[in-house]
Chain A
Amino acid sequence: MEHILTANNLTKTFKSGERSLTVLDSVSFEIEPGATVSIVGPSGSGKTTLLGLCAGLDVPSEGIISLVDIKLNALSEDDRAFVRNQYVGFIFQNFQLLSTLTALENVVLPLELRGEKNLVPRGKELLERVGLIDRMDHFPSQLSGGEQQRVAIARAFMSNPKILFADEPTGNLDEETADIVTKLLFDINKEEGTTLILVTHNMELAQHTQRILQLKGGKLVSDERTHQNLAVESNTSQLA
């Protein structure tokens, strides 16, 4: 598998009566396994739409999107759900934990859905990693925003996803908490070697990734390597 994610001429048009609005216009890119990529752009530039298409939450009006060589737009909604469960992890701006489940239950949920057993040790391990082992029986309403996002990070990594999508993961947090969450996200991601696609309008956060895709008016206007990428490349060359 050369690329874990391929977007080829992705276009998304919404129709409202006779009017149509193109929010994403012929966007193409490829992402290698293990890469960390940011999608940035101003409000309304199509960032979240692109994330939705890449993660198989939606289908493009035109173009092809493939994830781990699976053509997502050829699949039904239930098949795409199956792909997400097998290969994808998510972190959202508003955490999206299930309010009726405890922290630990939220974490193990994706693997429970697969029908796997003995998940508690791995769940606890991840909660320990995010510093919330003593809060594992708490419900989301009993946790602060930062704690909820840490539980969401643990849940995202629980199923060892091939690719992780994060939508403004620090958007609802104060600066201090945001720094803690960012560090945690990138540290675990590094440990697990997961591909990370991060949607943000925060350029400082985007600088943590190796590559930045910039959108404007639904078009991909730039695709830049960051100093993180250079660091990775230099590390690789030194090892070689």
Chain B
Amino acid sequence: MRGAVPAAVVIAAGLWPAAATAQETWLLVVSGVGGNASYRQTFVDRSIQLLEAAQERFGIPASHITYLAERIELADGRAAARSTREEVDAAITDIAARCNPGDQVLIVLIGHGSTQGEGGRFALPGPDMGPADFAPLLGRLSQQRVGFVNTASASGGFLALAGPGRVVVTATRAGQREEPLFGQFFVEAFSAEGADTDKDQGVSLLESFVYARTEVARAYDLEGTLRTENALLDDDGDGKGTETPEASDGDGALARRFVLGGVYGSARLAGVADDAELRSMLEKRGEHQAAFDHLRAAKAELAEDDYLTQLEELLVQIAELDTAIRARNEAAQ
């Protein structure tokens, strides 16, 4: 990543025509009961780390971000309310009321889980919440793309929330009760370098999942201990989840398009609609991207030399066009 992205336009992969439409991102972070001072602080710190990345790195407006914490006084003035069941309900209801169809809503739970009840529970001050409690709340976001991430232990049961237009991520399988490392690395994917593997200057849920999964495995390897957590992602709606989602099809395809920042960062789209030539260039760029995706999909059927020749030519065209777009954009600043 080359620093922050002040430019109004970000060159990114995929869905270029859609880039011209304004799609908003909404974020709800819920940090649950810590149980002791150390965990309490860890969960708050991790939540704030995510909030800062969302706002500062990916340009999500503060008005689109809601934070609920176990203890408001520990949250550095960032928590809107306590993370009780009622407040969770209210926060989702509020987002549902304010967002537009086609927007994306990311809900992240940071805290402890338990295996109690059907599908497990996420520990909150007061009554805990299980998948059956979240299901009707998510039902209010049926017109939006929803990302639901439970970073707690024993969170696998929350895959029951899977459905059309939803990306559900759990830090563990159902029944894995050891405190997982996944949440730490999932948040790190948004706040640190390294997760933006396609260099679109945004981080998708797929990228963040793969980053966290890889770093969790590395951490266990370094410790020389057996891994006691297996994070899962489901976005094809079957509720089964997978540890190895793929961008191309099955679980992973939707998560790849659920991006914080990048082309969907609404703050970065300013100016595109007013510049016809820039729009034309972006449309051309979209065509190149489609050709690129097509070529990659055909890789297995092509001779290696043919593939590489075509690939290089296409990449050069993309690079030249991107350079021109950037130059035009910078000149307009």
The answer to whether A and B assemble together is no
